[in-house]
Amino acid sequence: MSTPTTSLTEVASSGATLRAFLHGLPGVDRVGADQRAATLGTRSIKTTAKAKAIDLAISMVDLTTLEGADTPGKVRAMCAKAVRPDPADASVPKVAAVCVYPDLVPHAVEALRGTGVRVASVATGFPSGRTSLAVKVDDTALAVASGADEIDMVIDRGAFLAGDYLTVYEQIVAVKAACARKDGEDAHLKVILETGELVTYDNVRRASWLAMVAGADFIKTSTGKVAPAATLPVTLVMLEAVRDFRDRTGRMVGVKPAGGIRTTKDAIKNLVLVNETAGPDWLTAEWFRLGASSLLNDLLMQRTKLTTGHYAGPDYFTLD
């Protein structure tokens, strides 16, 4: 790991080389990883550090709605909340992005124009990914053409678990190519590993490297549709992967735990994990995101508690 900027392109020259590379990564001991995550979870973040952590966490939230019942109206309401999370307090930062299905991207783009809040869209046959590559590429192209800044793609877990790493690699490369926009920029590609279906931490580490080698800008734990979603040890393993990847290539990749992060405490534990695993370079919305829908209100509630000394009831925070 001590040779920066080594090219990793040749590892994907065949299924065999890719497999040899991924299986040559250091293993992950489940007991040890769980224990490390639990220990970091006992860090006590208070007073000024807590206030800063809450604002940082808010600025990292990808406010998300991914339901079949989503409507343009719901998306517009969520966008309003993303820009001004607390109507009563203008000092609350904006969230990082809103995350919607591809067909709703135009509504989000319109509602967020000029605000700096980015539009993310899940594409590639979300959440199962069980469709042809052509459809996945089209799905992505539609979202990008509609103005999405970020694409959250799911990997083919079936192919991964069958050991067909090259298929997964090629799909990520193809989707990444479909992220090219007319203005010459790329939409950022977040690759969802769906770690709950990969089951072992060894698989999580291999899938993380596979996605990074294939060009992912972000690696993301889960769709939010499968349990367990973003557990602390899984996020820990992914943070170790991006840290080692930067040591080796010089390139930084972001991390996004998504699903199951509901409380301020959970969010702060994630920030501690980032700080002490990958390092403070990752402690910005550019390199770390929290995929969540209900987390934001708890952050707001705790923020209010810190500033006023009192807990306000849930009705003091908006539902959108």
Partner 1 sequence: MSDIFEYAPAPESRDVVDIRPSYGLFVNGEWIDSLGDERHKTLNPATEEALAEFSYATPADVDRAVDAARKAYDSVWGRMPGRERAKYLFRIARIVQERARELAVLESLDNGKPIRESRDVDLPLVAAHFFYYAGWADKLRHAGLGEDPRPLGVAAQIIPWNFPLLMLAWKIAPALACGNTVVLKPAETTPLTALAFAEICRQADLPPGVVNIVTGAGETGQALAGHEGVDKVAFTGSTEVGRLIARSVAGTRKKLTLELGGKAANIVFDDAALDQAVEGIVNGIFFNQGHVCCAGSRLLVQESVEDELLAALKRRLATLRLGDPLDKNTDIGAVNSAAQLDRIRELSDAGEAEGAQRWSPPCALPDKGFWFPPTLFTGVAQSHRIAREEIFGPVLSVLTFRTPAEAVEKANNTPYGLSAGVWTEKGSRILWMADRLRAGVVWANTFNKFDPTSPFGGYKESGYGREGGRHGLEAYLDV
Among 4, 26, 250, 314, binds partner 1 (CB under 8 A): 26
Reduce the DSSP state of residue 22 to 3 states and report it.
helix
Q: According to CB under 8 A, which residues from 197 to 256 bind partner 1?
A: 240
Q: Binding segment for partner 1 among 48-56, 122-130, 191-199, 310-318 (CB under 8 A)? A: 48-56
Q: With binding defined as CB under 8 A, does residue 94 bind partner 1?
A: no
Among 20, 23, 32, 199, binds partner 1 (CB under 8 A): 32
Q: Which of 157, 128, 126, 130 is nearest to 140 (CA)?
A: 126
Indicate which residue of 256, 266, 269, 298 is catalytic.
256
Indicate which residue of 220, 266, 269, 298 is catalytic.
220
Question: Among residues 50 and 225, whose Cβ is nearest to partner 1?
Answer: 50
Q: With binding defined as CB under 8 A, does residue 31 bind partner 1?
A: yes
How many Å apart are CA 122 and CA 64, to the nearest integer? 10
Q: What is the dihedral of CA 48, 52, 53, 54, to 10 degrees?
A: 110
Q: With binding defined as CB under 8 A, does residue 33 bind partner 1?
A: yes
Q: According to CB under 8 A, which residues from 100 to 159 bind partner 1?
A: none
Would you say the C-alpha torsion 8, 199, 143, 94 has a positive or negative sign?
A: negative
Per-residue 3-state assignment (H helix, E strand, C coil) for 90-128? CCCCCCCEEEECHHHHHHHHHHHCCCCCEEEEEECCCCC
The least distance separating partner 1 from the CB of residue 56, rounded to whole angstroms, comes to 6
How many Å apart are CA 123 and CA 142, to the nearest integer? 9
Question: Among residues 51 and 174, whose Cβ is nearest to partner 1?
Answer: 51
Q: With binding defined as CB under 8 A, does residue 273 bind partner 1?
A: no
Q: Is 244 a catalytic residue?
A: no
Q: With binding defined as CB under 8 A, does residue 44 bind partner 1?
A: yes
Cα angle: 64, vertex 122, 193; to 5 degrees: 100
Residue 291 near residue 224 (C-beta atoms within 8 A): yes
Q: According to CB under 8 A, which residues from 53 to 92 bind partner 1?
A: 53, 56
The least distance separating partner 1 from the CB of residue 213, rounded to whole angstroms, comes to 19
Residue 156 near residue 167 (C-beta atoms within 8 A): yes
Q: With binding defined as CB under 8 A, does residue 23 bind partner 1?
A: no
How many Å apart are CA 105 and CA 119, to the nearest integer? 7
Contacts of 192 (CB under 8 A, 6+ apart): 122, 126, 152, 153, 154, 155, 220, 221, 222, 223, 258
Q: Is 220 a catalytic residue?
A: yes
How many Å apart are CA 79 and CA 73, to the nearest integer? 10
Q: Binding segment for partner 1 among 27-35, 70-78, 190-198, 302-310 (CB under 8 A)? A: 27-35
Among 22, 28, 60, 292, binds partner 1 (CB under 8 A): 28
Q: Which residues bind partner 1 (CB under 8 A)?
A: 1-2, 26-29, 31-33, 35-36, 42-50, 52-53, 56, 240, 271-272, 275-276, 280, 283-284
Active site residues: 152, 220, 256
